[in-house]
């Protein structure tokens, strides 16, 4: 493997965890890809957290696609994302013959997060970081599975949106970012996949209410990452893991987000 090979940073939404067959196929495919290119998985678990909080009688709300996270919700958010979701993926990774290691953004103290909007409670974004632990894992032949629980420099745990976590890791590693979701790409008003997305088109579709909810965070994440890395970002469906290799080779499926 040469140093020119970029690390694939691939983010999956938590809904994948509810589909055992797809999760198995996804991790098998990534294990395959990791034979020729280093791979880091960043995962969500929003649906799992939502259900856990509801089951415990807590009302959970979102603002601009981000979960408002009061301090009293944090034990469940941390448990759901860094615990259940992460270890569920580790277990399936073992099943398909990979060497998964489940970590969160905070592990190894390489990545520091900070609160940018106090109205969201214990929600943060990555402020700075280095690749220490993740590089160690890759060098050892492991498949890092990263949950989006982070910590501040003085050790306060924070809930980070998993798309934003993936963006930060892709930037830290100068990697190649692919975001997987439960849709075939960014859809237009007629529910057709938009093959190429630019900032101008995204701003217009957000203003028109065609791109809403979690997809607003995703497209903004992809656009800023495309600009920083000067590389296209893929948005694909996790139901078709074979598309990952296809997109890496030819960028002709899903939505390709490009910097202008
Ligand atoms: N224009 C759009 N194209 C595709 N999905 C959209 C669009 N607008 C809103 N969405 C919603 O965004 C969701 C994906 O965002 P999110 O739920 O955060 O995904 P994930 O958990 O997979 O990261 C889709 O399931 C869809 O309901
Ligand atoms: C701050 C914030 O919104 N955190 C997210 C983290 C998980 C996530 O992003 O999961 P998906 O990728 O499955 O949506 C949350 O609590 O839902």
Atom of ligand 2 nearest to the CA of 214: 14
The answer to whether the pTM exceeds 0.90 is yes
The backbone torsions φ and ψ at residue 32, rounded to the nearest 5 degrees and listed phi first, read -65, -50
Task: Check residue 65 and give its pLDDT.
Answer: 87
8-state DSSP, 69: B
pLDDT for residue 1 is more than 50: no
Q: Where are the alpha helices (DSSP H) in 20-85?
A: 20-33, 46-55, 74-78
pLDDT for residue 2 is more than 60: no
Task: Check residue 233 and give its pLDDT.
Answer: 98
Tell me: the pLDDT tens digits for 112-171?
Answer: 999 999 999 999 999 999 999 999 999 999 999 999 999 999 999 999 999 999 999 999
Q: If 0-12 CB within 10 Å is exposed, 13-18 middle and 19+ buried, where does residue 102 land? A: buried
For the Cβ of 115 lying below 6 angstroms from any atom of ligand 1, the answer is: no
Domains of the chain: 8-183+235-254 (3.40.1160.10)
Residues 11/180, Cβ–Cβ less than 8 Å: yes
For the Cβ of 88 lying below 6 angstroms from any atom of ligand 2, the answer is: no
Q: How far apart are the first and last CA of the chain?
A: 31
124 annotated to bind ligand:
no
Residues 89/145, Cβ–Cβ less than 8 Å: yes
For the Cβ of 253 lying below 6 angstroms from any atom of ligand 2, the answer is: no
Catalytic residue from among 44, 150, 214, 218? 218
Q: Residue 247, Cβ neighbours under 10 Å: how many?
A: 19
Task: Check residue 236 and give its pLDDT.
Answer: 98
Residues 41/101, Cβ–Cβ less than 8 Å: no
Percent of the chain with pLDDT over 90: 95
What ipTM did this prediction achieve? 0.96
Beta bridge partners of 181: 237
């Amino acid at each position: 493997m040469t140093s020119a090979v970029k690390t694939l940073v691939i983010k999956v939404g938590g809904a994948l965890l509810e589909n055992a067959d797809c999760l198995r196929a996804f991790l098998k495919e990534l294990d395959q890809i990791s034979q020729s290119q280093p791979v880091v998985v960043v995962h969500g678990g929003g649906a799992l957290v939502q259900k856990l909080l509801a089951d415990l009688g807590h009302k959970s709300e979102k603002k601009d696609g981000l979960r408002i996270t009061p301090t009293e919700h944090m034990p469940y958010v941390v448990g759901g994302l860094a615990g259940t979701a992460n270890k569920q993926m580790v277990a399936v990774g073992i099943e398909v013959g990979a060497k998964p290691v489940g970590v969160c953004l905070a592990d190894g103290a390489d990545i520091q997060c900070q609160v940018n909007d106090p109205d969201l409670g214990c929600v943060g974004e990555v402020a700075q970081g280095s690749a220490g632990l993740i590089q160690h894992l890759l060098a050892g032949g492991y498949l890092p599975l990263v949950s989006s629980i982070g910590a501040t420099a003085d050790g306060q745990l924070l809930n980070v949106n998993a798309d934003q976590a993936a963006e930060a890791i892709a930037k830290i590693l100068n990697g190649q970012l692919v975001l997987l979701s439960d849709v075939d790409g960014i859809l237009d008003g007629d529910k057709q996949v938009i093959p190429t997305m630019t900032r101008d088109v995204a701003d217009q579709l957000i203003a028109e209410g065609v791109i809403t909810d979690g997809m607003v965070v995703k497209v903004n994440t992809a656009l800023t990452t495309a600009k920083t890395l000067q590389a296209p970002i893929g948005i694909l469906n996790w139901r078709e893991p074979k598309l990952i290799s296809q997109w890496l080779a030819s960028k002709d499926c899903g939505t390709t987000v490009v910097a202008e």
